[in-house]
Structure 1
Amino acid sequence: MDNPDAPSTDADEGLASSEHVTPPEEPPPVPPDDLNQRLAEVEDRWHRAAADLDNTRKRTARELALARDAERARAATVFLPVVDGLEDAVTYAKGVNAGLAEGMESIREQAVAALERLGYPRIDEVGVPFDPRIHEVLSVVERGDLPPRTVAAVARLGFGTPERLLRPAGVVVTAAEE
């Protein structure tokens, strides 16, 4: 009886055209002022949501950059003892075998270059004014050929910039004028 391929009967057609089926009601007309107010509210909410999304994107990008920089610093800090060890090995090898010292110096330079690629350039300039942001005084010497408070020697390499310092350079500075 409920065969979809069966032809329809008069009884089926009578149900379809019955007066008992009511069409859906249309919503009552809304005054134009209410529509404009509602539209303004929806637009305001949309603008606020868009601004919130933009702020969230910016905050997330900043947080990601900070996390990336912190991880880069952690990796570079772990690498510092390797550079220091290579420096000591080069110093020792210079007294034993010049060829060995050259090879080890090459490896040390590769390690320093790796730190530079991570964003921490070496700090090893001599003859520059002492800068407490990037230098750590290890000793003070009297030297008449250099101005006061000038880096006379670098005892330990430093890495970084004043804004992003991994390790200050250990330096020997000239005495300050009295």
Structure 2
Amino acid sequence: MSEPTADESSGRSGAAEPERHRQMPERTGAEEGDPPPGAAMGDERATAPAGGMSPPEPDGADAAPEPEPAEPTAAELEDRWRRTAADLDNLRKRCAREIRRERMAERELVAAAFLPVLDSMDRALAHAGSDPRSIIEGVRAVREQALAVLAGLGYSREDETGVPFDPARHEVVGVIEADGDKTKPGSVAEVVRPGYGSGERQLRPAAVTVAQAPGG
């Protein structure tokens, strides 16, 4: 059996070579699952976030402290004091003007309420020459009208007898003995001068005589 020649051997090896290249393709890039470059060497750039952004710094570590406000000078304090004193003086003057205005308004209200009373007195005097007895009726009408004005202002007339004595409403001007069922001990026997108003809204208390038990 004769040995193959060199030409035949080279022909067979040349045919098998392309088949080996087809079975093992050349790796041209990073395959799936391969570690990123530099990971095996412990490179810190391998763990950096995407986009090239550096990790945020901790708050308060390198923050500069805020500057403290400057203390006011003596001139500034004096200016503040003068401004405050001027505002207070203006407020005092404004309050005084408001009080005077309110007082004048109340006086006008009371005076206007009594104008009808004066008109009634003028009419009564105008008819006094024709019938003198009409003066009495006119005076009574004016009195009722004046009492109505005072009651409308919050000062009703206090002239009741037989009611218990009340130091807040009555002023004792005399003491008499109790007279049976008419005047009981500790009650108002007679009103010498009527009072007007009651409680905190009182023009004057009623001057009265008070009954007491016999021998008291």
TM-score bracket for this pair, using the shorter chain length: 0.3 to 0.5
| Structure number, greater radius of gyration | 2
Higher relative contact order at CA 8 Å, sep ≥6: structure 1 or structure 2? Answer: 1
Question: What is the TM-score when the length of structure 2 is the normalising length?
Answer: 0.37
Question: What is the TM-score when the length of structure 1 is the normalising length?
Answer: 0.44
> In proportion to residue count, which structure has more helix?
1
